[in-house]
Chain A
Amino acid sequence: MLNKKNRAVLFNPLSKDNPVLVQILGICSSLAVTAKLEPAIVMGISVTAVTAFSNVIISFMRNTIPNSIRIIVQLVVVAALVIIVDQVLKAYNYEVSKQLSVFVGLIITNCILMGRLEAFALANKPWPSFLDGIGNGLGYGIILVIVATIRELLGSGTLLGYHVVPQWLYELGYENNGLMILPPMALITVACIIWAHRSKNKDLQETN
């Protein structure tokens, strides 16, 4: 079940082949939903669920799909799963679904999904495809959580809504940085993470 090849499929996207840091996919939503930690976690879980199950479904169907409508079939599967996630959130976690608003629907346009379906699920068996989906979803989710932690901590002084910056620090004149809440700081935070990641993994650095 988890031989060496499958382990690589599952764990590579977490760092060496991270969809956000290395493939630079899914940047749009990682800017939009990372002002607070909770929506970022929910978004990470949602994307993981959608990539995993769409990978499995497409992998099961891969030998039957006519080549000319391959992308359309992938879109239909992804769109259906995203709508189901959106409906479930509306029914069981209304607060978060209000915060995520349009971004759940926009999972459909997340490049990670179509990228994995085209590059992996169409050519592999369901089980490795499932692991690949989980791995890439988690790789995306981890970056979201890191960015959201930095932004919520510095921007609002809270984590998951609980105050963590002590009151005496405010009394000494510390202030929350309102700039961290705004989307540009998410871009800069992601860029800093990519910088740190590449300086640790020398083989990822591009030379020209």
Chain B
Amino acid sequence: MNKQGNLYTIIYTAVIVCVVGAALAWVSLTLKPKQNDNIRIDKMQQMLSSLHVVSDKTNAIELYDKYIVDEYIIDSSAKKVDGNAFDVNVANEVKKDASERLLPVFVCNIDNSTKYILPVYGTGLWGPIWGYVSVNDDGCTVYGAYFSHQGETPGLGAEIATENFARQFDGKQLFKDGSFKSVAVLKKGQKPVGGEDYVDAISGGTITSKGVQSMLFSCLSCYSAFLSDLQNNKK
């Protein structure tokens, strides 16, 4: 058969595509369960970090089961919705209107006090940023925070993923005089206009820092009804 002819070329391409396609499908199917486990474990580690619990991939599941006692989904008016909170894709939810979002809440028990972990998701300079904020049972004080990013500038915007940055959020108040204010991320020396609590931004990472600020405000404001309920229960 003429190896440079059209028929040979077409048959050759078809065979290659089938063989490669089958090989890739097989690899993907075989490795999928292991990959999903890794993604779940990674998510658990991120949540545990927001509780200041240090975990590695070997003990993440154990620690997660120990500290996270309940998880559920609420809507923006704090009514419970059916579903599995762990599997909610926050990245998809933030695209919806605030009233239609599914809002996962993870209830944790650490040192005999109850904390609530709330996921947040937003945009930095180069791509998505996300994190978990844990709130005390007074519905107002931040217990801890964890942030991560896909591709912020190393050494600048990427510093939001460091413990030093996240630690600044400990003890900040999300509400001032009964109204939701979130936490601002400001350059050193600046003061917030609305009187809300604030932390220092990353120098050289201004756009990423602003991204964190707007991510916290837009995501946590959806939880404000839930957080207000917590405050009223406490009183």
Contact = CB atoms under 8 A, between A and B. Distances in A.
B193 interface: no
A91 B57 CA distance: 13
A66 interface: yes
Given A35-B154, A69-B12, A76-B17, A91 B3 contact: no
Contacts, number: 64
Contact of A90 (B4, B35, B155): B35
Interface residues of B, number: 27
B138 interface: no
Contact of A178 (B20, B39, B155): B155
Given A66-B4, A84-B24, A182 B31 contact: no
B109 to A, nearest CB: 28
A191 B110 CA distance: 52
Interface residues of A, number: 28
Contacts of A201: none
B225 to A, nearest CB: 34
B188 interface: no
A73 B38 CA distance: 33
A84 B4 CA distance: 30
Nearest to B8: A66
A56 to B, nearest CB: 15
A155 B47 CA distance: 29
B13 interface: yes
A101 B20 CA distance: 23
A205 interface: no
A131 interface: no
A182 B4 contact: no
A175 B151 CA distance: 25
Interface string A79-99: 010011001101110110010
5 contacts: A35-B154, A66-B9, A87-B28, A87-B35, A182-B154
Interface of B: 3-5, 8-9, 12-13, 16-17, 20, 23-24, 27-28, 31, 34-35, 38-39, 41-42, 57, 150-151, 153-155
